[in-house]
Chains A and B, each alone.
Chain A
Amino acid sequence: MKTLPIRTSYLRRKKIIDLAARAIFLLAGLIAAAMIVLIFVFVAGRGIQVFLPGYANAQNLGEFLTGMRWRPDLSPPVYSVLFIVINTVITAFGAAVLAFPVSVMTALFIVKVAPKSLRLFFTTVVEILAAIPSVVYGVFAAGSITRLVSGLAAAFGYTTYGGSSMLAVILLLAIMIFPTITSLAIVSIASVDRNLELGSLALGASQMETNFKVVLSAAKSGIFAGLILGLGRAFGEATAVSMVAGNKMFGPTFNLFDTTRTLTTTMLSGLSETAGVDYDIRFSIGVVLMIVILITNLLIRYVKKHIGGVTNE
């Protein structure tokens, strides 16, 4: 009955191609999903290797985790991260403390306060800030922020190491994580149910009062997500921070004008070989970094849960 020249050979080929293509798609999905596991396995593997007996210059795990010196120049070299972790946490949280209020207020401004015609302009400002690569931020920091810090230090009677200091790192990180937090805050504030606002206004509150008391609470979930993301970026930022940190060999640094060292700057400093303790120890630091990020994430989620407030879900 059919007049169409449908060749069975084509149909057979079509079936095989279909099965093969679906297998390839599946494979791609599995590879992508496996990567996080592989990262963990390989980085942790090489990082832990350093502490195992049988390794050439095996390090002492206890010393690594509790000491306060990073001296690759000594022989035998001393590698301890505790003070570095403390520095990292201080600088990251310091940056968050600076950036968070500015970010949230800016997001509130863009969504609720800015005249509609200017909204695009300000959103673009945030987007451009988000798009600037770290190295460019680093150059800016090394050129401008350090000078600012030197000037400030002189005014207070301190000296700095050319401006490279903990304060410079904190300022730099604050600037870098600002767009991250702001973009998420903008999305979150913009999606607050209009009815909540209307309810508040109908009760006699002004727009600004409503913004602060109702809208921000309702957007809490997304804003905290932005904070988590921002902190993650602050912990993981490497190249820009390296240009203004100073890489102090011991610590921790509590003086704003003193040089400092973070987990990431340590991972980037003095890269000369691609083998040996000096190289492999960076993997160990990488593991420490991931653990710090993980713990911080869990902590913030815990805090968020106990602050409560209206959710948008």
Chain B
Amino acid sequence: MQDTTAFLAADPAGNIFEVADLDVYYDKFQALKKVTIDIPANEVTAFIGPSGCGKSTLLRCFNRMNDLIEGCRIDGTIRMEGTDIYDRQTDVVKLRTEVGMVFQAPNPFPMSIFDNVAYGLRCQGIRDMKILRRVVEESLKKAALWEEAKDHLHRNALKLSGGQQQRLCIARAIALEPKVILMDEPTSALDPIATAHIEDLIEDLKKQYTIIIVTHSMSQAARISDKTAFFLLGDLVEVGETSEVFHVPRDTRTEDYISGKFG
């Protein structure tokens, strides 16, 4: 396993996550092996690699959604702005309001558009309609869905197209003012036009949020990410500036993957 310390961000104060020696097991199977990586703030970091390499597993660690999987065990630490998020004292619910998630298949609730975006807020006890309306509008605007949705806020979200639903899910996550947005292959279920919309959106969003995106599409990673991390069979093989990883990869495995020899 390669020593990745050389690839850590030059300025450690700008990291939002610091992962150190992370092992993740699903029962007896080890999905991640001694992963050490820093995620810089306000940048787009892409995780790439073939199926089953562990990239989604790592993503799910950041908001502790892995806790929901039976038999999942963690060794090592993940620090968010200095605090270990796997510490016993950690309020998982609060963590999830700081670290939002967008899933591969859009999963809006069978409720109105308004209620979808307001859901997270209501779960945190915010009931004032003035505040809710303001936040819903801001979030939909940031997710580039406001113009299309503003006259139909009470229509059922399931009636939106796939791309619109995914933007709704982004708006829903943004509504909680998270610091980080995790995206697990957010465009793999969408058509090319919708995909392009989301990619533009990600470009905008990174000014305000840190984005970690898992993607199967190398071209997508090359297009939108600042940093790229390549995983293979549970190992973090290489991580660095996207342009370097794609044009002058240091590891032969990385080179093979990028040139399409496997995956």
User: Would A and B touch once assembled, by the CB under 8 A criterion?
Assistant: yes
Within the complex, the shortest CB–CB distance from A9 to chain B, in Å, comes to 9
Task: Given the known inter-chain contacts A11-B93, A11-B94, please indicate yes or no for A4 contacting B124, CB distance below 8 A.
Answer: yes
Q: Complex: how many Å from CA A4 to CA B124?
A: 10
The chain B residue sitting closest to A9, CB to CB, is B125
Q: Complex: how many Å from CA A3 to CA B97?
A: 13
B177 at the interface (CB under 8 A from A): yes
Interface centre among A4, A5, A6, A7 (most CB of B within 10 A): A4
Q: Which residues in window 136-152 of A have CB below 8 A to B?
A: none
The chain B residue sitting closest to A15, CB to CB, is B93
User: Which residues of chain B come closer than 8 Å to A304, judged between CB atoms?
Assistant: none
Task: Given the known inter-chain contacts A11-B93, A11-B94, please indicate yes or no for A1 contacting B125, CB distance below 8 A.
Answer: no
Q: Complex: how many Å from CA A15 to CA B94?
A: 11
Q: Which residues in window 127-141 of B have CB below 8 A to A?
A: 128, 131, 135
B236 at the interface (CB under 8 A from A): no
Find B124's partner among A1, A3, A11, A15 (CB 8 Å cutoff): A11
User: Which residues of chain A come closer than 8 Å to B121, judged between CB atoms?
Assistant: 4
- A7 and B177 contacting across the interface, CB-CB below 8 Å: no
A71 at the interface (CB under 8 A from B): no
- A1 and B177 contacting across the interface, CB-CB below 8 Å: yes
- A4 and B126 contacting across the interface, CB-CB below 8 Å: yes
User: Which residues of chain B come closer than 8 Å to A14, judged between CB atoms?
Assistant: 93, 123, 125
- B177 and A10 contacting across the interface, CB-CB below 8 Å: no
User: Size band of the A side of the interface?
Assistant: 10 to 19
A194 at the interface (CB under 8 A from B): no
Task: Given the known inter-chain contacts A10-B124, A11-B93, A11-B94, please indicate yes or no for A4 contacting B176, CB distance below 8 A.
Answer: yes
Within the complex, the shortest CB–CB distance from B120 to chain A, in Å, comes to 10
B179 at the interface (CB under 8 A from A): yes
Within the complex, the shortest CB–CB distance from A2 to chain B, in Å, comes to 5
The chain B residue sitting closest to A13, CB to CB, is B125
- B135 and A1 contacting across the interface, CB-CB below 8 Å: no
- B125 and A3 contacting across the interface, CB-CB below 8 Å: no
Q: Complex: how many Å from CA A1 to CA B210?
A: 14
User: Which residues of chain B come closer than 8 Å to A15, judged between CB atoms?
Assistant: 93
- B179 and A10 contacting across the interface, CB-CB below 8 Å: no
Q: Complex: how many Å from CA A15 to CA B125?
A: 12
Find B131's partner among A5, A10, A11 (CB 8 Å cutoff): A5
User: Size band of the B side of the interface?
Assistant: 10 to 19
Within the complex, the shortest CB–CB distance from A226 to chain B, in Å, comes to 35
Within the complex, the shortest CB–CB distance from A22 to chain B, in Å, comes to 14
The chain A residue sitting closest to B120, CB to CB, is A4
- A4 and B94 contacting across the interface, CB-CB below 8 Å: no
Within the complex, the shortest CB–CB distance from A33 to chain B, in Å, comes to 21
- A7 and B125 contacting across the interface, CB-CB below 8 Å: yes
Q: Complex: how many Å from CA A161 to CA B128?
A: 77
The chain B residue sitting closest to A3, CB to CB, is B177
User: Which residues of chain B come closer than 8 Å to A1, judged between CB atoms?
Assistant: 177, 179
Task: Given the known inter-chain contacts A11-B93, A11-B94, please indicate yes or no for A6 contacting B125, CB distance below 8 A.
Answer: yes
- B126 and A5 contacting across the interface, CB-CB below 8 Å: yes
- A11 and B179 contacting across the interface, CB-CB below 8 Å: no
Within the complex, the shortest CB–CB distance from A12 to chain B, in Å, comes to 10
The chain A residue sitting closest to B125, CB to CB, is A10
Within the complex, the shortest CB–CB distance from B67 to chain A, in Å, comes to 15
Task: Given the known inter-chain contacts A4-B135, A5-B131, please indicate yes or no for A11 contacting B177, CB distance below 8 A.
Answer: no
Q: Complex: how many Å from CA A42 to CA B29?
A: 48
Q: Complex: how many Å from CA A134 to CA B52?
A: 58
- Against A, the Cβ 8 Å flags (1 = close, 0 = not) of B154-193 are 0000000000000000000000110100000000000000
- Against A, the Cβ 8 Å flags (1 = close, 0 = not) of B75-119 are 000000000000000010110010000000000000000000000
Q: Which residues in window 99-157 of A have CB below 8 A to B?
A: none
The chain A residue sitting closest to B135, CB to CB, is A4
Q: Complex: how many Å from CA A205 to CA B244?
A: 69
- B125 and A2 contacting across the interface, CB-CB below 8 Å: no
Within the complex, the shortest CB–CB distance from A16 to chain B, in Å, comes to 13
The chain A residue sitting closest to B177, CB to CB, is A2
The chain A residue sitting closest to B124, CB to CB, is A6
User: Which residues of chain B come closer than 8 Å to A6, judged between CB atoms?
Assistant: 97, 124-126
User: Which residues of chain B come closer than 8 Å to A3, judged between CB atoms?
Assistant: 177
Within the complex, the shortest CB–CB distance from B117 to chain A, in Å, comes to 13
The chain A residue sitting closest to B138, CB to CB, is A3
Within the complex, the shortest CB–CB distance from B64 to chain A, in Å, comes to 16
List 11 additional A-B contacts (Cβ < 8 Å) besides A4-B124, A11-B125, A14-B123. Answer: A1-B177, A4-B121, A4-B126, A4-B135, A4-B176, A5-B126, A5-B128, A6-B97, A10-B125, A11-B94, A15-B93
24 contacts between A and B (CB under 8 A): A1-B177, A2-B177, A3-B177, A4-B121, A4-B124, A4-B135, A4-B176, A4-B177, A5-B131, A6-B97, A6-B124, A6-B125, A6-B126, A7-B125, A10-B124, A10-B125, A11-B91, A11-B93, A11-B94, A11-B125, A14-B93, A14-B123, A14-B125, A15-B93
Give me the 6 closest cross-chain CB pairs, A-B, nearest first.
A10-B125, A6-B124, A2-B177, A4-B177, A7-B125, A4-B126
A residues touching B (Cβ–Cβ < 8 Å)? 1-7, 10-11, 14-15
